[in-house]
Each structure stands twice: as C-alpha cells, then as structure tokens.
C-alpha cells in the first residue's frame, strides 16, 4: 500500500519559532510537493522538488523554505512562524511519469499562536 | 503560471446528475486530474484526461477539450457520500519538472 506520511497531524507553535514539517514517501517518487489549504483559497502550491537537492518555488513561497536531501523526504521549513501561517499543510508526491496521480499525506494542521 | 476557474459551491439532490465545470489556462499542459476531498481529509484521485473526450469510470465521468481549456466532471446517481469538494488540477511542466496546481475546488452538497 503506497504511503505518504507527514510527521504530525496537529502542531501548535509560537510566533517567531522555527518550524519543521516533515514528509516521507515510500514509493520512490521523483516529485514532491508542499501545499497549504485555507478556506476559500483552496490548495496553494508553496514549493515543489523534482529531484534530490532540487527545488522550485510555487505560487506562495514567501516565508517558507524547503529541503530535499534524500529522495524519500521533503521538509518544509518556516524560518520564523507567524500567525498568518496558521493553516492545513499537505504534502504530495508523484513519479516522473506525468499521467500518474498524486498521493497525499494526511495533512498537518498548524496553529501559530 | 496557471489560472484555474471552477464554481465555488453546488447543491444537487440524491439520485440526480451533476456536472462540475473547470476552465484553465496553463503552460506546458500535461493532462488534467480531478480529485475528491472530503472535509478534514486529504484529496484522493478520481480521474485523469490527457486526450480530448470523455473518460467514464463507474458513476463518474470526466471530459476534456484541450483547445478550449475546458473540462467537466459528471457525477451520476448521486449519493449522500458524494458530498465533498471536487478539485480540478491541470498538470504542467517547465524547467524539466512536473508541476501540479489545483483550482479552489467546488463544494458539492448532496441533499435528500
């Protein structure tokens, strides 16, 4: 059974903290994605990676960075968390073959107080 | 970049048919996906179209017109469990990478 696993389901952090959201996939997929989802705004792409150590900005990269040191792991980093980063964060992965669907993690609901 | 447009909300009756439309403008088009997302859960794959025409899969069908930048998802014999958000996602490419972006989603409410 294919799996994308996010490290936490719920997370509460304080303003100014450095926050790491981890995502691991066991399908040997080349592409990995980080999205945030907010009511009325849908899923918005933050960053994606198509290979180890490669990354590309999505639509809303400001305030975030990413790390892909190993193929199976894609980390999202909030350098200094702010309240407007309170959101649901979803990780997804796909293989290089472009006609294959994305597999999502269960999501991390992050609250910044 | 990508510009994806779909209705925000729709309501339909149990047993009926509903069509959810999606228009898009994207570079490097590589096919279009539809996903279903129940409240509080992650999106799950429904369908994929890369060629023009209709793809049927049980109660769900999806249509694509590449020249018009248009797709729709057709749900037949609606059931209460079909109440969910439906996300249109054109796949694109650039700089050797594959990018997947989503529309804001259409929240479908199925009523008795």
Residue B30: list chain A partners with CB under 8 A.
98-99
Cα separation of the two ends of chain A: 36
Q: Is the confidence at residue B47, as pLDDT, over 60? A: yes
Q: Which residues on A lie below 8 Å from B91 (Cβ)?
A: 98
- Number of CB pairs, chain A paired with chain B, less than 8 A apart: 68
The shortest C-alpha distance from A45 to chain B (Å) reads 6
CA diameter of chain B: 48
Instruction: Give the closest residue to B103 by CA, choosing from B2, B5, B35.
Output: B5
Tell me the C-alpha to C-alpha distance, in Å, between residue A102 and each of A91, B11, B44: 10, 27, 8
- Residue B96's pLDDT is what? 47
Nearest CB among B42, B48, B102 relative to A101 is that of B48
Contact between residue B71 and residue B63 where contact means Cβ atoms under 8 Å apart: yes
> b vs e for B44-63, b when ≥16 Cβ sit within 10 Å of the residue's Cβ?
eebbbbeeeeeeeeeebbbb
Say what the pLDDT of residue B101 is: 84
Q: Return the pLDDT at B100.
A: 80
| Cα B62 versus chain centre, distance | 8
pLDDT of B95 over the 70 cut: no
pLDDT band at A2 (very low <50, low <70, confident <90, very high): low
**Does the pLDDT at position B44 exceed 80?**
yes
Average pLDDT over residues B63-71: 93
CB contact under 8 A, B43 and A94: no
Flag whether residue A41 sits within 8 Å of chain B, measured between CB atoms.
yes
Neighbours of B76 (CB within 10 A): 14
Per-residue pLDDT at B3 exceeds 90: no
Which tens digits make up the pLDDT trace of A16-72?
999 999 999 999 999 999 999 999 898 999 999 989 999 999 989 999 999 999 999
- Give the percent of chain B with pLDDT over 90: 72
Are the C-beta atoms of residues B88 and B4 closer than 8 Å to each other?
A: yes
Give the residue from B26, B101, B103, B107 with the most A CB atoms within 10 Å of its CB, the best one to mutate: B101
Comparing A95 with A35, the larger pLDDT belongs to A35
Under a CB-based contact definition with an 8 Å cutoff, are residues A29 and A94 in contact? yes
pLDDT at B38 over 60: yes
**Dist. CA B61–CA B20, nearest whole Å:** 11
Report CB contact under 8 Å: A48, B97. Answer: yes
């Amino acid at each position: 059974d294919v799996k994308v696993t996010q490290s936490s389901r719920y997370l509460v952090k304080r303003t100014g903290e450095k926050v790491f959201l981890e995502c691991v996939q066991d399908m040997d997929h080349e592409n990995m994605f980080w999205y945030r989802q907010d009511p009325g705004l849908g899923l918005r792409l933050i960053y994606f990676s198509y290979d180890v150590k490669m990354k590309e900005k999505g639509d809303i990269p400001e305030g975030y960075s990413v790390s892909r040191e190993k193929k199976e792991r894609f980390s999202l980093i909030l350098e200094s968390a702010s309240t407007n980063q309170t959101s649901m964060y979803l990780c997804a992965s796909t293989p290089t073959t472009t006609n294959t669907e994305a597999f999502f993690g269960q999501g991390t609901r992050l609250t910044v107080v | 970049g990508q510009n994806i447009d779909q209705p925000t909300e729709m309501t339909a009756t149990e047993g009926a048919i509903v069509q959810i439309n999606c228009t898009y403008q994207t570079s490097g088009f590589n096919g279009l996906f539809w996903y279903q997302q129940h409240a509080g859960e992650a999106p799950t794959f429904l369908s994929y179209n890369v060629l023009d025409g209709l793809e049927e899969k049980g109660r769900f069908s999806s249509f694509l017109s590449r020249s018009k930048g248009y797709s729709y998802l057709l749900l037949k014999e609606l059931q209460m469990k079909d109440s969910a958000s439906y996300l249109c996602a054109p796949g694109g490419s650039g700089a050797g990478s594959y990018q997947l972006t989503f529309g804001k989603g259409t929240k479908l409410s199925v009523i008795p």
